[in-house]
Chain A
Amino acid sequence: MGDLRDLYQEVILDHSRKPRNFRPLERADRRVEGFNPLCGDRVTLFVRLENGEVRDISFQGSGCAISTASASMMTEKLKGKTTQEAMRLFDEFHGLVTGKPGGVGNGEELGKLAVFSGVCEFPIRVKCATLAWHALKAALTGGAQSVSTE
């Protein structure tokens, strides 16, 4: 069960049971629906930006432990970050879970989010871990109102 504990680390289980920032956001100026048709996971991400900074961020939806914890920890991480910093974190996180470090940093910026490193051993679950992050990218680039992992 060693491998499973890499995936389902205690902090991930904790966030999946008690997701943080799990609420709609009044006065959100970005709202993006994320959908994973593979397993039916849905996330709605709310972002309020001020002066190029993530002033507040929250989410709602239903999903597996990985997608819920990922959304929860992402919202914790992003409060107060500039959009540039957030986009860099997207790249770092994506590199981490796909096992292909693609960001400019060495992943240290991710901090607690490093608990998702086990996901790269479970390729089918990468989409779960990145669902909220894809919604974030869409929110920050101001493009799509909804994103799908397929």
Chain B
Amino acid sequence: MSGSERILKAGAQADASYPRSAPRPGAAFDIEAIRRDFPILQQSVNGHPLVYLDNAATTQKPKAVVDALEHYYTRDNANIHRGVHELSQRATAAYEQAREKARSFVNARSTAEVLFVRSTTEAINLIAHSFGAARVSAGDEILLTRMEHHSNIVPWQMLCERQGARLQVAPVNDRGELILEDFERLLSPKTRLVSLVHLSNALGTVNPVKEIISLAHRRGVPVLLDGAQAAARIPIDVQDLDCDFYALSGHKLYGPTGIGILYGKSELLETMPPFLGGGDMISSVTFEKTLYNKLPNKFEAGTPHVAGAVGLGAAIDYVRGIGIEAIAAHEDELLRHATEAVSRVSGLRIIGTAREKAGILSFVMDGIHPHDIGTILDQQGIAIRAGHHCTQPLMEQFGVPATARASFGMYNTLAEVDALVDGLGKVREVFA
């Protein structure tokens, strides 16, 4: 591990030059200024001011992101790489600058380790195909947890079917926390990869990923983290975590849809075959033999979502301008207040009471289906999500078909949490 410690120090030094915003005390977190940056929030829905509490599904976009997309399409748009003309060079520069922003955001050692993908889902599928083809054979095991999103279950089931491998699933306790002893017990000589969620989309549980990674590495097993929910709520340092792969989606990080990031350690990515074949991922093609391009291009076949990457770069700048630590502190305050307040609503039960939680509050109400809660809240302009949140095995464990879920973003206020609680009172009235 001394090698990675050395790298960690080098990475931290390199990163010191990047203007990271320091954690701010709550008072300096200017919520009104932030809200003004999100034009979509300034509207009424069903006759009430919009209260957007569906941020785990997707976040809204600051004007800076919308402007970056517009700027790109109105000034720089061209296809990237190998273009001799001015616009192509500008587009290429914009795309690669976005990659550098992404690298810095997750603190990867090099941009060679930062792949642009469509989404977290695509990132996981890429690993399942590419790593799976190289490293997983019949009888091998992939270790997941019970709290995974379907996107971190199904690609592995498909891999297992292709290769004759098996899924192992680490259990979760009644608070919605991973049972570490069981997880450790399930790590076997046959385990080829651990893939787990950093922050659960259905429960809000924050997993002790550093400890988990260290447990897996002691047995030589690489770890993929699904960071879809964590990216906007927890500072990510892939070198400090020492994770092998980290996947996230731009649209849950205040950026555009259709763009995401997959970080992978270069020594692993180098040994993996490409996921998709096509243009840009090759260095030369003949009908006899094709030589693949170097990292990261080897994994980016076809024309990528250049505008999306540019928009994501702008989102990363915006988020870092506010400070991810400050956002996390703000959301912690919202979650604390919401947890206390909804606990006073009669017949309401919170699903997911882990000691380490962030940004997400799932609950059910006696005798009232989450879907009905969602409709009644929507009539008051309050957007939440009702359903199984693509985590059906987890819902089964908690004995519910679905939950209602409020999830916070940097622009939500304590007053909006109060509006939610008032709204739940009206839900009770309708069903009284």
Contact = CB atoms under 8 A, between A and B. Distances in A.
Given A39-B402, A40-B387, A122-B375, A4 B430 contact: yes
A23 B400 CA distance: 20
B35 to A, nearest CB: 27
A128 B430 contact: no
Interface string B362-381: 00000111111001100100
B386 interface: yes
Contacts of A120: none
Interface residues of A, number: 23
Residue with the highest number of chain A CB atoms closer than 10 Å, among B368, B401, B431 = B401
Contacts of B379: 1, 3-4
Given A7-B375, A122-B375, A39 B370 contact: yes
Nearest to B401: A40
A65 B386 contact: no
Contacts of B392: 40
A41 B387 CA distance: 9
B357 interface: no
Contact of A13 (B371, B387, B426, B431): B431
Contacts of B386: 39
Given A3-B379, A4-B376, A62-B401, A39 B431 contact: no
A42 interface: yes
Given A3-B379, A4-B376, A64-B372, A41 B401 contact: yes
A124 B379 CA distance: 13
Contacts of A40: 387-388, 392, 395, 401-402
B368 A65 contact: yes
A74 interface: no
Nearest to A122: B375
Contacts of B387: 38-40
A66 B370 CA distance: 12
B184 to A, nearest CB: 33
A125 interface: yes
Contacts of A128: 371
A108 to B, nearest CB: 28
Contacts of A13: 430-431
A38 B389 CA distance: 10
Residue with the highest number of chain A CB atoms closer than 10 Å, among B367, B375, B379, B402 = B375
Contacts of A122: 375
Contact of B371 (A1, A3, A39): A39
Interface in A35-59: 38-42
A78 to B, nearest CB: 24
Given A40-B387, A122-B375, A1 B426 contact: yes
Interface of B: 46, 367-372, 375-376, 379, 386-388, 392, 395, 401-402, 426, 430-431
Interface of A: 1, 3-5, 7-8, 13, 17, 38-42, 62-66, 68, 122, 124-125, 128
25 contacts: A1-B426, A3-B379, A5-B430, A8-B376, A8-B431, A17-B367, A38-B387, A39-B369, A39-B371, A39-B386, A39-B388, A39-B402, A40-B392, A42-B401, A62-B401, A64-B371, A64-B372, A65-B431, A66-B371, A66-B372, A122-B375, A124-B375, A125-B371, A125-B375, A128-B371
